[in-house]
Structure 1
Amino acid sequence: MNSHTDHAGTGTGTGRAAAQAADPRRWRALTLLGAAQFMLVLDVTVVAVALPEIGVDLGLDRAALTWVVSAYTLLFGGLMLFGGRLADLFGARRVAMTGLATFTAASLVAGLSVSAEMLLVGRVGQGIGAALLSPAALALIIVTFRGDERTKALGVWGALGGTGAAVGVLLGGVLTAGPGWPWVFYVNVPVGLVVLAALPFTVAPRRDEHPRARIDVPGALTVTAATGLLIYGLINAGDHGVTAVTTLGPLAGAVLLYTGFVLLQRTTASPLMDMRLLARRSVAAGTVLMLVATGVLVSGFFLGSFYLQHTLGFDALTTGLMFLPVAVATIIGAQFSSRLLGHLGPRAVAPLGLAVAAAGSAAPAIWPGATALVVGISVAALGVGATFVAAFTSATAQVDDREAGLASGLINTFHELGGAIGVAVVSSIAATGITGTGHDPVGFAAAFTVTSAAAAVTAGLALLLVPAGTSPAGARPHAH
C-alpha cells in the first residue's frame, strides 16, 4: 500500500463511488486480485522448502542459494514504493497488469532454469513484478469498495498473508517431492495467465483524479542498491570472514548509499520515502518491529528447511508437512493480537510477541532434533504473528488518512527487506550445514541463537520506542 492510496479514505465523488460499490464485478475483481497477491506471498515459503533440491540439481553454492530467497524479497521490498508511484502516474490497473505479466514470465524463466544465473534472473524478475503488482492491486481494491464492504475486502486481503505462507510450505513439499522443484515456479504461470486474461473485463480503467506523483527513480535505485550491497556483504562474511575486504567493502558501500538515499529524499521534490514520516516515533517503531519479526520468521523457514533435509535426512514433502504448524501459528498469533491490541495497545503487545518469538527461536538453539525445531519455530511464529499486527498498528495509529498509505507502504517495504536481510545473516552463520558438506548442527544452533537474541533485544527496544496508548479493537494490518 503506497502513496496512491493516500486519497482512498476521502473518496472521489459520492455519485461515482456509489456506482462503483454497486458494480457486480467488484467481488470478481477481489477474487482475481487476491489470487494474484496470493502467488506473491506463496513464493517465499514455497521456494524455501524446495531450496535443498534446487541446490543439488543446479549445483548451487551457499551464496547462490541465499540469493534465491533474498533476490526476490530485495526487489519486492526495494521497489515497492516505486511501484506505487508508477501506479499514481500510469494508473493502477495498467501497472498491476504489467507487474503480473512480468511476474508470470519470470516464473517461467525460473522454472526452466539450468544454471544459477538463469534462476537468479527469474527471481529478480519475480521481485520486480511483485513490486509493481502488489501496491497497484491493493489500490484497485481500495477504490473499488466502499464502507463496510471495503473493510471486508481488506480483511480478505490481510488473510492472504498467513494463508499463503501455510499453503506455500505444503505446496512446496508436494511439488518438490512430486513433479519436481521447477513446478514451484511453473504453478504461477497458469494462474497468472488466467488473471491477466480476465482482469481487463473485470476492473475498469480509472482516470487519475488527483495530482500525479513524480517518480523518484534515483531514490528507488539507490535504496535497492544499498540493500543489495548490505546483503552481499553479509553473505560474504560466511565465506571470507567478518573482517575480510570482500565483506567490509560492500558493507561500507551500503552505508554510503543509504546516506546518499537520505540526502536525496530530503532534497528531491517528490521523494520516494517521506523521511519526516519515518522520523516519527510510532512509524519508526513499526518499521523496526516489522523488519526484525519478518527476519526471524523467514530465517526460521530457511534454516529449518536445510536442517530437516540436509542434517536430519527428511524429504521435501515431510518437511512441508512439518512446517504447517509454523504457518498456522503465524495466523493464530495475528488473530489473537488483533483482539488484544484494543485492550493493551501495541506498546504491550509488541514486546510480548517478540519475547515469545525469542523463546521459540531459542529452543532449536538449545535442543537438537526435529521436535525441538518444529515446536520452537511454531512458538516463534506465534509471537511473530502478534508482532506483525502490533507493528502495523503502531505505524498507522497516529497518522491521518492522507498519510496512511505512505505509512503502510513503509511497513510493507520493511516486511520484505527484513526477510532478505535475515536470510543473509543466518546463511553466513550456518554456512556449513546449508552447503550440505557437513552435518554438524553447531552452525544451525548459532544461527537460531542470533535470531533469538535479535528478537529479545528488539522486545526491550519496543518498550522504549512504541508510544503508549491503545488501539481500536479488532485492528489488523491489510498488508501481506
Structure 2
Amino acid sequence: MNAPATPDRRRWLGLVVISIAVSLIIVDSTIVNVAIPSVVDDLGITSTQVQWVQESYTLVFAALLLVFGTLADRFGRRRILLIGVALFALSSVVAALAPTGELLILSRVVQGLGGAMILPATLSLLNATFTGRERGIAFAVWGSTIGGMAAVGPLLGGWLTADFSWRWAFGINLPLGILIIVGALLVVQESRAEHRRRVDVVGAVLSVLLFTSLVFGLIEGRTYGWWATAKGAPDFWTLEISPIPFVFALTLVTLVAFIAWGVHRERRGRPTLIAFSLFGITSFRNGNIAALIVSLGEFGVILALPLWLQNVLGYDALQTGFLLLALAGGSFLASGFAGSASGKIAPVWIVRGGLVAEIIGLVVLALVITSDTAWWPLAIGLAVYGFGVGLATAQLTGVVLAEVPVGESGQASGTQSTSRQVGSALGIAILGTVLFTSLGAQLTDRLPEQLPSDVRQQVVDLVVDSAGAAIPGLEATSPDAAAAARDAFSEATRAATFTAAGFLAVGLLATLSLGGSAAGDRRSRSREDTPASSAP
C-alpha cells in the first residue's frame, strides 16, 4: 500500500533527496570519463578494458533495471532505494582502492547492481507521490538533475583527479551515499503496490542474458573479429569463425524467448517482468523506442570527448572538466525554460526541440574538431548540446509515463529506464567501436611510409590499445608518428560525434509517432490529475 499523503514540505524535501540519489549514479558515470586517462596511466589498462570500465557498470545497470523495478513495487520503493545506495557506496570504496583493472571492472559491476536499484525506485517514488502539474515539475527537476549532473560530474572528476587522484572520483560516493540514506529515512515516505506479485524469475534470467550478450558482442567484436577470428584474439578461441556471431545469435534467440515467455504468462494471468499490456498505450510504446534511440546518441559521445581533449589537445583532467561545464550551463538553462513552459507547450514538442538542439550542438562539435582546436568553439557546441539534453531528458520521462497507471509505475519506470540504459550501453559500445576502429584505420593511413610495416603496426596497436594515452609519449621517440596519431584521433572523434548526431536524428524521427495533439494532451492531463492516494 502507498503511504498516506504527506505535507508539501516533506514531499518536496523528499524530491531533493531523490534528485541527489539520481545525481549519485549520473555523476559517477561522467566522473569516470574524465578519470579514465589517469586510470590508464596508473593501472595500464587496454582500450577494451577502458570500454569495459564503462560497460561493466552500464551493462549490469541495463540488465537488472526491469528486475528491480518489479521488486521495488513488491517490497517497497524506498527500501530498494536504500539498499541500492548502500551497495553503490560500498562498491565505490572498492573501486577507489582497486590495484588492478580487473578489480576495478568487478567493482563497477557491483556499482551497476546498486544503480539498477536506485533509478527505477526514484522514478516510481515520484510517480506515486506527485500528481497533476506537480508531477510535471517533479519530473522536470528529476530530468534536469540528470542533464546537469552529466556535465558537473566531469568538472568534479577533473578537480579530484588533477588535485588528488582518480581514486577520489570513486571515493566521493561514500559521503554522498550516507547523506542520501539519512535523508531518505527522514523525509521519503515508503510506498509499494497494493497487490504484491511474484517475480518472474525466468523472465529475469532471459532479460539478463539478452542484454549481456548484446553489449558483449558489440564491445568484443573488435577484439575477436566480427565474423572471422581476428589475429589478436585470445588464444583459448581456436575456431576460424569468431565467437561474436554465436553471441549475437544467442541475443536473437533470447529476445524471442523473452517476448514469447512474457506474452504466455500474461495470457495466463501471471505476473511478468514487463507489463506487455502497457505497450498498448501509444505514448508508452513509442516513447520507449524514442528513449532508447535518443540515449544511444546522447551518452556514447561522452566516452570519446574526454579522451580526445586530454590525449590530443593536452588538457588535464581539471581543464577537461571546466570545458565540459559548458554542457552543464546549457542544461541548467534548459531546465528553467522547461519549467516555465510546463502547461503551455506540449511536452513532446519540448522533447523535439531538445533533440534538434542536441543535433546542432554535435554537428558544431564535429565540424570544429581538429588536432589544434581552440576551446571556445568547443564550448559553444557543448552549450547548445547541453541545452538540448536538458530539454529532452527533463520531459521524455513524463511523456513515456504520462498515461501509465500509478499501480504499474514501478514496472513502467523500470521499462523506460531500461530503454534508456540499453540505449546508453549500445551508444558506448557502438561509438566506442567507431572511435577505436576509425582510429586504427586513420593512423595506419597517416603514418610515414618509410616506417617498416611491423613498426607501423606496433605504433597503431600501442595508440589504440592505450585509448590514445600513448600519444604524448610518442613525441620523444617519433614526432611525425605523434602528429599522425593526433590527427587520426581527431578524425576518429569526429566520426564518433557525427555518428551520435545521426542516431539523435533517428530519435527525432521516432518522436513524430508520439503525436502531441490537444486530445492526447487532455487525456494525459486527466490521468495526471488522479490523486496519488487513490492509486495503489
Aligned to 1:173: 158
Aligned to 1:263: 260
**Displacement of 1:299 after TM fit?**
1.9
Report the 3-state secondary structure (helix = DSSP H, G, I; strand = E; otherwise coil) of the residue aligned with 1:176: helix
1:322-366 Cα shifts (integer Å, max 9, x gaps) = 001112323333543565575553554444433332232223333
Aligned to 1:235: 219
Counterpart of 1:73 (choices 40, 58, 77) is 58
Alpha-carbon spacing, 1:103–1:286, altered in 2? closer, same or farther (3 Å): same
Greater displacement, 320-329 / 187-196? 187-196
Higher Rg of the two aligned structures: 2
Report the 3-state secondary structure (helix = DSSP H, G, I; strand = E; otherwise coil) of the residue aligned with 1:17: coil
**Displacement of 1:321 after TM fit?**
0.3
Counterpart of 2:7 (choices 3, 12, 21) is 21
Aligned to 2:47: 62
**Displacement of 1:117 after TM fit?**
1.4
Counterpart of 1:454 (choices 503, 509, 520) is 503
Q: 1:94-173 to 2 correspondence within 5 Å?
A: 94-140=79-125, 156-173=141-158
Q: Give, as a single letter, the amino acid of the residue that structure 1 aligns with 2:366.
A: A
1:226 aligns with 2:210: yes
- RMSD over aligned CA atoms reads 3.2
Q: Give, as a single letter, the amino acid of the residue that structure 2 aligns with 1:435.
A: A
Aligned to 1:419: 424
Q: 1:39-438 to 2 correspondence within 5 Å?
A: 39-140=24-125, 156-196=141-181, 199-200=184-185, 210-244=194-228, 245-268=242-265, 269-278=270-279, 280-337=281-338, 342=343, 345=346, 348-367=349-368, 368=370, 369-371=373-375, 372-431=377-436, 432=439, 435-436=467-468, 437=470, 438=485
Relative to the length of structure 2, the TM-score reads: 0.76
**Displacement of 1:182 after TM fit?**
0.6
Q: Distance in 2 between matches of 1:346 and 1:197?
A: 34
1:36 aligns with 2:21: yes
Alpha-carbon spacing, 1:137–1:358, altered in 2? closer, same or farther (3 Å): closer
Aligned to 1:3: none
**Displacement of 1:271 after TM fit?**
1.0
Q: Could you tell me whether the CA contact under 8 Å between 1:335 and 1:386 is conserved in 2?
A: no
**Displacement of 1:385 after TM fit?**
3.0
**Displacement of 1:282 after TM fit?**
2.3
Q: Could you tell me whether the CA contact under 8 Å between 2:284 and 2:400 is conserved in 1?
A: yes
Q: Distance in 2 between matches of 1:205 and 1:461?
A: 36
Q: Distance in 2 between matches of 1:409 and 1:262?
A: 16
Q: Distance in 2 between matches of 1:354 and 1:240?
A: 35
Relative to the length of structure 1, the TM-score reads: 0.84
1:204-231 Cα shifts (integer Å, max 9, x gaps) = 767x671112112332332232222222
Task: List runs of 5+ in structure 2 lacking aligned partners.
Answer: 229-241, 440-463, 471-484, 529-536
Q: Distance in 1 between matches of 2:506 and 2:134?
A: 40
1:364-402 Cα shifts (integer Å, max 9, x gaps) = 333322544443343233233333345334323444444
1:442 aligns with 2:491: yes
Q: Give, as a single letter, the amino acid of the residue that structure 1 aligns with 2:204.
A: A
Q: Distance in 1 between matches of 2:183 and 2:511?
A: 45
Q: Distance in 2 between matches of 1:345 and 1:143?
A: 22
Alpha-carbon spacing, 1:387–1:227, altered in 2? closer, same or farther (3 Å): same
Q: Could you tell me whether the CA contact under 8 Å between 2:34 and 2:306 is conserved in 1?
A: yes
Q: Distance in 2 between matches of 1:404 and 1:198?
A: 23
Q: Give, as a single letter, the amino acid of the residue that structure 2 aligns with 1:303.
A: A
1:422-453 Cα shifts (integer Å, max 9, x gaps) = 01111111114671153212211211121122
Q: Distance in 2 between matches of 1:222 and 1:273?
A: 12
Q: Distance in 2 between matches of 1:169 and 1:55?
A: 17
**Displacement of 1:272 after TM fit?**
1.1
Q: Distance in 1 between matches of 2:85 and 2:374?
A: 38
Q: Distance in 1 between matches of 2:314 and 2:300?
A: 20
**Displacement of 1:142 after TM fit?**
5.8
Q: Distance in 1 between matches of 2:21 and 2:505?
A: 35
* Number of equivalent positions: 458
Report the 3-state secondary structure (helix = DSSP H, G, I; strand = E; otherwise coil) of the residue aligned with 1:60: coil
Aligned to 2:532: none
Q: Give, as a single letter, the amino acid of the residue that structure 1 aligns with 2:467.
A: T
Q: Distance in 1 between matches of 2:196 and 2:54?
A: 34
